[in-house]
């Protein structure tokens, strides 16, 4: 991160994880990353020349990296449906102005999705097999009004829905383990249909 002299990176297949934002704001112009690492690659190129090149090469509203990671949403539509070819989305929508989003069941259930600071997000359809809602996933989504958490969810991370003041109803179809301050600054009517 912030290494302006870094221009090219090749990650060998043996590496198992790259942390979020690892090359952010560097001078990176070329990156070769094994496809098996895309699940941990959220925002790693943010603020780099490489990210700008990816934006120029993108066809449509999405930057899809290594054919499976929706790296970044670059469109301006308010209502978005993620392409079925996408397996991972990580933080692709952070800070975007989307209002509604449909995530297909093709997205990996262990994917750490984040919609942090999606101020306009009102509705979202989660994949039916999602297992975890990660820490701060919907934090500061001021317009989020209602969410249904599928029965497949086993855990909701700390602060997942913190500061969502418009959240009026949360339907929890299963019995997930709840983290700390999941709904702090929110006032949802919790409904567990079981």
Q: What is the pLDDT along the chain (194 residues), one digit of tens a residue?
A: 999 999 999 999 888 778 778 899 999 999 888 877 766 666 788 899 999 999 998 888 998 888 888 888 999 999 999 988 888 888 889 888 999 999 999 998 777 788 989 999 999 999 999 999 999 999 999 999 989 999 999 999 999 999 999 998 899 999 999 999 999 998 887 777 66
Beta bridge partners of 132: 155
Number of domains in the chain: 1
52 inside domain = yes
38 inside domain = yes
Model confidence, pTM = 0.83
Question: How many Å apart are CA 191 and CA 194, to the nearest integer?
Answer: 9
13 inside domain = yes
147 inside domain = no
Q: Which residue, among 144, 117, 135, 131, has the nearest Cα to 181 in the 3D structure?
A: 135
CB proximity list for 186: less than 8 A, separation 6 or greater: 161, 162, 163, 164, 165, 167
């Amino acid at each position: 991160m912030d290494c302006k002299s870094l221009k090219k990176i090749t990650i060998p297949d043996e590496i198992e994880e790259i942390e979020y934002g690892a090359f952010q704001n560097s001078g990176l112009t070329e990156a070769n990353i094994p496809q098996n690492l895309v699940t941990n690659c959220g925002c790693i190129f943010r603020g780099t020349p490489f990210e700008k090149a990816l934006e120029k090469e993108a066809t449509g509203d999405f930057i899809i990296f290594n054919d499976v990671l929706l790296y970044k949403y670059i469109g301006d539509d308010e209502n978005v449906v993620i392409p079925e070819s996408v397996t991972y989305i990580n933080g692709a929508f952070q800070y975007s102005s989307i209002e509604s989003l449909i995530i297909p069941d093709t997205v990996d259930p262990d994917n750490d999705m984040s919609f942090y600071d999606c101020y306009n997000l009102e509705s979202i359809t989660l994949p039916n097999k999602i297992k975890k809602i990660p820490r701060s996933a919907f934090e500061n989504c001021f317009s989020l009004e209602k969410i249904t958490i599928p029965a497949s969810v086993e855990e909701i991370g700390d602060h997942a829905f913190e500061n969502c003041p418009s959240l009026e109803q949360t339907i929890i179809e299963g019995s997930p383990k709840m983290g700390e301050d999941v709904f702090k600054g929110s006032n949802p009517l919790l409904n567990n249909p079981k």
